[in-house]
């Protein structure tokens, strides 16, 4: 077995980053401005007539990547329900400029691959940390690449909590998947207890540092960061746009410090955690939210298409 080894880097500073309120600026120059913002995070209002439709979240720095929506079907479905979902997705019209990725259960990947419209890309929900071998139940990154599956989700909180995957193990998995040509939606996020004690950004920084330790700056072009507050996954609870934007801005600032301003500007940061057709528009308006990783709502074709099309509000 070949497992990617990760070089140690400097420890992440414990102090939470300071936020500066900046509007969207194309390219890494957005990361170099230093405009002070009051400590209270507020919603900024543009000049549009509809105040609800025009609310924008205060930004530290804005991402410049294309909006990206992933649908994580998790361990759900059967032949009939998967067929119905694919039919509904195929019938849906994607009108926004958005990259869309669907992640069926592993056993249904070939069926979905043969029937899903090419406007959707495919992702696996997991892969092994190294090359194939005597690892019963696992699927190697080489196998996904060999079957033209371009994406994989790694580091999801359910695998961290239920299967004991550590930050370091996930960093190694991300590096190996990239080395075999896959793109990765790399999940990070805090539990309710960690949020309540004010550790949200510290947790995100720690989880990201394990990936930073394992991949090169150039490799981040193959990574989408999926911020998913664990307390909001499948619970119906959603971080407010202010809370989500604040955390995304902190993640982007960390990436500027830990990797480079150019990578921080280009890397896309998805929000995940009970995103649905009712709240996606307001969340999409936030400057540092570059997409969504959708769970339950991705099993409803019409709802998922609505979420994808909310990308038109991210401008």
With 50 as the cut, is the pLDDT of residue 243 above it?
yes
Mean pLDDT of 249-270: 98
Q: Identify the structural domains of the chain with CATH numbers, from first to last.
A: 68-75+89-309 (3.20.20.70)
Given the residues 99, 158, 190, 228, select the one marked as catalytic. 228
DSSP state of 181: T
With 60 as the cut, is the pLDDT of residue 310 above it?
yes
Is 228 among the residues known to form the active site?
yes
Of 280, 299, 303, 301, give the one whose Cα is nearest residue 291.
Answer: 280
Is 248 among the residues known to form the active site?
no
With 60 as the cut, is the pLDDT of residue 72 above it?
yes
With 60 as the cut, is the pLDDT of residue 50 above it?
no
What local confidence, expressed as pLDDT, does residue 25 receive? 37
* Contact residues for 115 (Cβ-Cβ < 8 A; gap 6+): 83, 86, 90
Q: Which residues pair with 136 in a beta bridge?
A: none
- Percentage of the chain surpassing pLDDT 90? 75
What local confidence, expressed as pLDDT, does residue 66 receive? 95
What local confidence, expressed as pLDDT, does residue 62 receive? 62
Say if strands 43-45 and 268-272 run parallel, antiparallel, or are unpaired.
Answer: unpaired
Given the residues 99, 142, 156, 158, select the one marked as catalytic. 156
Place of tokens 């401005």: 33
pLDDT band of 65, cuts 50, 70, 90: confident
Ranges of H-type helices in the chain: 51-54, 79-91, 109-115, 141-146, 157-163, 167-179, 192-196, 200-212, 241-258, 261-266, 280-284, 301-309
pTM of the predicted structure, to 2 decimals: 0.83
pLDDT band of 179, cuts 50, 70, 90: very high
pLDDT band of 234, cuts 50, 70, 90: confident
Give the span between the Cα atoms of 188 and 21, in whole angstroms: 24
More confident residue, 192 or 216: 216
- Residue 168 in contact with residue 40, Cβ under 8 Å? no
What local confidence, expressed as pLDDT, does residue 236 receive? 79
Residue 82: CA atoms inside 13 Å, Cβ hemisphere, count?
23
Reduced to 3 states (helix: H, G, I; strand: E, B; else coil), residue 70 is: strand
pLDDT of 151-167, one tens digit each? 999 999 999 999 999 99
pLDDT band of 197, cuts 50, 70, 90: very high
Lowest mean pLDDT among 49-58, 198-207, 282-291: 49-58
pLDDT band of 315, cuts 50, 70, 90: confident
End-to-end distance of the chain based on CA atoms, in angstroms?
A: 45
pLDDT of 108-153, one tens digit each? 999 999 999 999 999 999 999 999 999 999 999 999 999 999 999 9
Task: Tokens for 315, please give them.
Answer: 């401008």
With 50 as the cut, is the pLDDT of residue 53 above it?
no
With 70 as the cut, is the pLDDT of residue 63 above it?
no
Helix, strand, coil share (%) of the chain residues, nearest 5: 40, 15, 45
Length of the chain counted residue by residue: 315
């Amino acid at each position: 077995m070949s497992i990617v080894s990760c070089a140690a880097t400097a420890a992440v500073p414990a102090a939470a980053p300071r936020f500066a309120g900046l509007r969207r600026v194309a390219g890494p120059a957005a990361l170099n401005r230093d405009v002070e913002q009051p400590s209270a995070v507020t919603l900024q209002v543009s000049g549009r007539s509809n105040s609800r439709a025009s609310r924008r979240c205060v930004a530290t720095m804005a991402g410049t990547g294309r909006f990206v929506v992933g649908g994580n079907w998790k361990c759900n479905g059967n032949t009939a329900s998967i067929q119905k979902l694919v039919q509904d997705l195929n019938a849906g019209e994607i009108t926004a400029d958005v990259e869309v990725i669907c992640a069926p259960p592993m056993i249904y990947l070939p069926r979905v691959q043969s029937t899903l419209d090419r406007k959707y890309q495919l992702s696996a929900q997991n892969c092994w940390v190294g090359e194939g071998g005597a690892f019963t139940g696992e699927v190697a990154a080489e196998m996904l690449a060999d079957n033209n599956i371009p994406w994989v989700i790694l580091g999801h909180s359910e695998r961290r909590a239920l299967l004991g995957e550590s930050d370091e193990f996930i960093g190694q998995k991300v590096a190996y998947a990239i080395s075999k040509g896959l793109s990765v939606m790399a999940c990070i996020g805090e539990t309710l207890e960690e949020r309540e004690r004010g550790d949200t950004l510290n947790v995100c920084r720690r989880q990201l540092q394990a990936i930073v330790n394992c991949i090169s700056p150039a490799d981040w072009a193959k990574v989408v960061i999926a911020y998913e507050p664990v307390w909001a996954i499948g619970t119906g609870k959603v971080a407010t746009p202010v809370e989500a934007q604040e955390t995304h801005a902190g993640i982007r600032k960390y990436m500027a410090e830990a990797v480079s301003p150019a990578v921080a500007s280009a890397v896309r940061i998805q929000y995940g955690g009970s995103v649905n057709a009712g709240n996606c528009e307001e969340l999409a308006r936030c400057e540092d939210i570059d997409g969504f990783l959708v769970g339950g709502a991705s099993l409803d074709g019409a709802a998922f298409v609505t979420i994808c099309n909310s990308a038109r509000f991210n401008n």
